[in-house]
Structure 1
Amino acid sequence: MWEELENALAWYAAAPARWLGSARQDLGAAAEWLWIVLQGDFAEEQSTAQVVTGTVISMIPIADQLCDVRDLVANCRKINADSSNHWAWIALVLTLIGLFPVLGSLAKGCCKILFAYGRKFAVRSGAALKVEGFWDASRPFVEAGIGKLNQHLQTPVVRSSLRALNILNPYQWLAGKLREVIAQLKVAELTRVFDELIDTLRQLLDLVRRWGSAAMASRAGQLLESVLNVRRMANQKLEGLLGPVRDWLERLARRLDIEADMNYRAQVNARNHHGTPRLQAEDDALEFERNKPEWVDKTGKLIHREMAKTPSKPGWPDISGTAPKPLENAFKTFKKASPVTLQPGERLYRVVAPNSFDNSICWMREAEFLALSGRDDWRRRFAVWRYWNRNGEYVVYTVPPGKGLNAWEGPAASQKLEEASPYVLEGGALQIVLDPRQLQPEHLSRRRPTQWGYSDFPGESDEFLGLPKLTNHIDGRNLPPDSKLDL
């Protein structure tokens, strides 16, 4: 065991000269070496390169335990300095959840990178910052962690492990692991892991007491007591932080879902939706002549005529004829439009086809979506031609905390299939048009089925589109300017 411990210590700090000069016989030098390693502080001394190195050493006996104990000691030092600082407690939670058995060694190494960056943010945050804003405030740290995770996944040892475990999409796999952690996130599980770490710390400090000086033994006792002091407060302090941490983990899992979609778009043994021929207005007209559906009228009358003049207001999206795509001429989709500010927490819905983008301009409020009786109602009231949107799925965007989201809202204008065509869609439902460049992708939900199917006409088979994969598609051209998504 001593040889394993010596090798493990070497990962963190060079051996003292007295240890080398004594031909590895001076146990006092060994105690000093172990003591120095246990005092390491992840938040203030560990570089980003060391964070990645730490995930590799998790496969080395004892080294992984040393890493975990170092992090625990650093957490407890912060908490004992100010036990009222909720961010110090959140940093402790992120340390402990990284040790949940459900992760396994490979996922633990990957998640430790993400948790380390979350801890760095927590440790550097002022007590005045509310924990409810954890995700939005920590986004730059999260993105830095994603970048470091990408590097880690490219290392030969990790790639070899992924192949051996037949993990084809590591981001999707990690998102699933995070959701397993969320399901187990309870105070009892956190304190169980805490107690296991304390047992490991006791064993290591026993070596320091046996091999070191009396002064070092005294300091070892003080260190253990400081950790036990935090443990005595843990049950009460951790309970109120589970909600914010759970929300942070859910959003982190969602962020990994997006990374998975961006990096692994191909689907094995499935039809390529992007390769499906794009429908045209004449395709719809031909189908209408064969069997006119309920959602279209053959009257040529536009009940809700489009706006004659473009609305404008400083700070709101430009939807005029000279606006940049995809907002160019968006005013023509309205009968009338008013500027609105969508408040944080508001849930917006967008019906999408398998090959359309999640982050586009047309949305509706939750009440409008829930009031829809089905596909026919949606096509008629929101005036959506089949060749524009094949439907079948939907995505939800939750307006993030902050100043809200400026958008245009009003009744949808009636639509003619073509200028000389008698086929029209009624319109009239309240629609929302926004600038997709203001959408933060991590606040988009996973795709869900509408349960309307993908077909609009008798004899048209859903099989034409293949089995639904419910895969998110993000248009990289419409990302926020500060987005760090690697497209």
Structure 2
Amino acid sequence: MSSSWVSQAASEVGDYIWSGATTVGDTVVGVVAGEFSQKRNTGSIIIDAVISMFPVAGEVTAARDAIAIALRMCDDPKVRHDGWEWVALVLCLVAVVPVVGGLLKGIGKLLMRAVSKSEDLVKLCQEILALIRKAGFGNAVEWLRKLDFNKYQAAVKNAFGMLLDRIGKALHFILNRLGSVIPARVESYIRKLLPMLEELRKLGDTQIALAFKDLMQLLERVRGHMVEGTWADVKVGSGTTRTMTEEARLAHLAEETKSLGHKPMTLKQYVHKEGWSDLRTFEVGEAIGTFSSKVPIEAITRAPGEVMIRVVDTRYLASPRTIPGKFWTDTLAPNGLWWRIYSAIKHAWSMNGSYVKIKVPTREAMEKLGIEVPAGWNGMRLWKGRIAEQWDDEKEVATMRLLVGGDLQFFVDFDNKFNAPVKKWIDAQLANGQLKALRTHWTDVKLPDQATARALMLAERERSAKIRQEGYARRAISDAGKQLTDEQVP
């Protein structure tokens, strides 16, 4: 690892500490003579404490960026609750994973480009495959198909705790050893950071889990282009032929569906919390049983300004119960197939087509409409957990396939006194046109049944084999023609 890289990173971390210490109204402009070395030493202490976390030499940038993101989160509540900042932090910390950490970080950074709707996902997929090939992990297509970021979530959570520990120890060391020589404003700023690191620690498990969910959604969005055949083509001779149709893509993914262990929660596993709706008063299959037993459910407060999303069936938008229903989430699934499988929505229940997105209203916004809000209201009281798996086995549209569940779910009881005002606010917003259902534009919400899936897969394999044989034949003719031409040249 180049010492110049470490020195540069130390200077940048020192710059951040010094700039953070500059308060509004400070009369100090820049850094006075004599502070440059103090600033560099401060940054060096923090960098040296963190960089040894990473097993591969050269990950100084990951250490620097992880420190910068953590300090930004300490400084600014908006950054602290920004999902994409957490994704960026996860991509720094995933570099601690032995052997594949650097590759995972590189793939993740490329996936971040998929956030933009204008990004060419076909080209992006090619770049990711090129990166995997360069890393020398064998069959790049197969490696990408099997990639599951969630396997590394525990390692990243451990690394996050270690990061905060090391930054905290470094800051204490600076105060103890350099406290008498660093400027008072810098000392004060460092003392302010220490308790904020602990506040950040409390958010870690939840925010990192959500960051991994976002990464997996981006991965599925990009990986879909590989499976669809939009670029994973057979190139033989001068010909290029697609290897998989849209129907075969659905069949392939449906055929490969296996349980992820999200068995329905039982009544005995439910732990009630006062002030929240008692889920025991509902039918088990309508409330408790919709949650996965793999992850404990939480009684949470969804604060004003936080986003809520609900996918609905376009056919029933006229019903007053369609939009203000019980089941919500925080982000829209990347496609219909993901929604169907990971939200475990039976075909008989919904063919979707639309979704509604709200931000939890403030007390003032509701009272302005004449809605009575209870004393002590600070947001919606919801139950949060992961969705349970279930079989798609109802009515004639049943596919008899396992819908694996596992996505995030909010259970909202609008009869609860803390949620009832929001229901009235939603009704008012719908009535005055301020809230409207938006189209999902998903075309892949219908899974083939088991027999159709197998038939499609067999047909696709036969078609792909035929394509390869035709390609080889074209190449043989092309090679023979080239050889004949070469022999005729005197």
Instruction: Please give the TM-score of this superposition, normalised by the length of structure 1.
Output: 0.39
Bigger Rg, which one: 1
